[in-house]
Amino acid sequence: MVKYVLQRIVYLIITLFVITSITFFLMKFLPGTPFQNEEKLTVEQKEILNEKYGLNKPLPVQYANYMTSVAKFDLGNSFQFDNQPVTGLLKNRIGPSLELGFQAMLVGTVIGIGLGLLAAMFQNTWIDYGSTFLAVLGKSIPSFVFAALLQYYIGVKLGWLPVAAWDGFSYSIMPTIALAIFPVATAARFMRTELIDVLSSDYITLAKAKGNSRMEVAFKHAIRNALIPLITVLGPMAVSLMTGSMVVEQIFAIPGIGEQFVKSITTNDFPIIMGTTIFFAVLLTVIILIVDILYGIIDPRIRLAGGSKK
């Protein structure tokens, strides 16, 4: 178990290393310039800037410098925002994104589990077909389409909820809903499959043979076993939440990391782009690692391997 965790951490570090290196080399070899209005600069001014940013040192030295600063959480300064450190900018923006993401994941998984449960317990009835259809819709309708529709019909037309910005709980309701439809679909489909599988196991029949009612069988035995593999779905769910957040934040004008990322791409603000990329990479790989470890802890078959007496 410990060995497994250590192994995964090593992979994490390797992956991050690869990503940051790629990021660095891309930045170096990009056509186009880090400086805005380069044409207006005189040669001397260019030299001063190059000196300042260390851009005239030999490549290996630049690389080493870059990697060390990243390790120190120094992601450089933004070109766009008057040299504010990227790390600072990111810190300000993390709040809304995390809150939104967390809410969406919570809402999504809870509703999804509920839908999947209903579908499995009433298999092949209209309840099943209905919830499966909802899950397909949730998977297929792009989050940006849904977000735009929500914004228009509920925000503008009906005026029930604020249309945009981030200033209190009610501002987060629509974005959360828009962001949550994909997790709902994923969780529902997964839960249904797992639960149907579990319900056909021998030990469920044994649970019935002990005199448990249908509800008791479902809640004391079946659901617990079906929920455990659900943890594996959380990793890909985090990825989809991240991509979804970019679009949802843009539509609802939420001051989060996703929104900033998209802006920085369109304005070619490389330090922010690189910094955010690295941030996302770190976040995702760490989440996936945590999920893996969590799974190993919760499933007793992995946690306590062996020890059987013959």
Partner 1 sequence: MKHSNDPISKDMFEIEPATTLDNEIIAKPQLSFAKDAWLRVRKNKAAIVSAVLLLLVIIMAFVGPSLSHFDPYQQDVTKTNLPPRIPGIEKLGILDGSQKIGGVEQNVYEQNNIKEYYWFGTDSLGRDLFSRVWVGTRVSLYIALLAAVIDMLIGVMYGLVSGFRGGKVDNVMQRVLEVISGIPNLIVVILMLLILKPGIISITIAMVITGWVGMARVVRGQVLKLKNQEYILASRTLGAKNNRLLFRHLLPNLSGVIIINTMFTIPSAIFFEAFLSFIGIGLQAPQASLGTLIEDGYKTFQFLPHLMIIPSIVICIILITTNLIGDGLRDAFDPKMRD
Partner 2 sequence: MKQLKKKVLEVKDLNISFHTFAGEVQAIRGVDFELYEGETLAIVGESGSGKSVTSKSIMRLLPTNNSEVKSGEILFGDKDIVTASEKQMQKIRGKDISMIFQDPMTALNPTMTIGRQIMEPIIKHQKLGKQEARKRAIRLLELVGIPNPESRLKQYPHQFSGGMRQRVVIAIALACEPKILIADEPTTALDVTIQGQILDLMKDLQKQIETSIIFITHDLGVVANVADRVAVMYGGKIVEVGTVDEIFYNPQHPYTWGLISSMPSLDEKDDELYVIPGTPPDLLNPPKGDAFAPRNPYAMKIDSEQQPPMFKVSDTHYAATWLLHPDAPKIEPPQKIKDRMVEFEKGGN
Tell me which residues in 194-223 interact with partner 2 (CB under 8 A): 201-203, 205-213, 220-221
**Cα within 13 Å of Cα(138), Cβ side:** 25
Residue with Cβ nearer partner 2 (159 or 306): 306
Q: How far is the CB of 7 from partner 1 (least distance, A)?
A: 10
Residue with Cβ nearer partner 2 (40 or 310): 310
Q: Which stretch binds partner 1 (CB under 8 A): 78-86, 164-172, 224-232, 261-269?
A: 261-269
DSSP state of 77: B
Helix (H, G, I), strand (E, B) or coil at 269: coil
73 binds partner 1 (CB under 8 A): no
68 binds partner 1 (CB under 8 A): no
Residue with Cβ nearer partner 1 (110 or 284): 284
Residue with Cβ nearer partner 1 (111 or 288): 288
Cα 4–Cα 241–Cα 70 angle in degrees, nearest 5: 60
Distance in angstroms (rounded) separating the CA atoms of residues 66 and 55: 11
Total residues contacting partner 2 (rule CB under 8 A)?
27
Contact 174, 154 (CB under 8 A): yes
Measuring CA to CA, how many Å separate 154 from each of 135, 163, 177, 192, 249? 22, 8, 12, 31, 17
41 binds partner 1 (CB under 8 A): no
Instruction: Name which position in 3, 40, 52, 301 contacts partner 2 (CB under 8 A).
Output: 301
Instruction: Name which position in 9, 61, 71, 145 contacts partner 1 (CB under 8 A).
Output: 145
Residue with Cβ nearer partner 1 (44 or 202): 202
Scanning 200-269, the segments in alpha helix (DSSP H) are 202-209, 214-216, 223-251, 257-266
**Cα within 13 Å of Cα(158), Cβ side:** 8
Helix (H, G, I), strand (E, B) or coil at 211: coil
Give the residue among 245, 135, 114, 128 at the shortest CA–CA distance from 186.
Answer: 135
Instruction: Name which position in 31, 58, 168, 306 contacts partner 2 (CB under 8 A).
Output: 306
Residue with Cβ nearer partner 2 (82 or 202): 202
Cβ burial 57-91 (10 Å sphere, 16+ → b, else e): eeeeebbeebeeebeeeebbbbbbbeeebbeebbe
Footprint of partner 2 (CB under 8 A): 201-203, 205-213, 220-221, 224-225, 228, 299-301, 304-310
Footprint on this chain of partner 1 (rule: CB under 8 A):
11-12, 14-15, 18-19, 22-23, 26, 29-30, 136-137, 139-142, 144-145, 148-149, 152, 156, 239, 242-243, 246-247, 250-251, 262, 265-266, 273, 277, 280-281, 284-285, 288
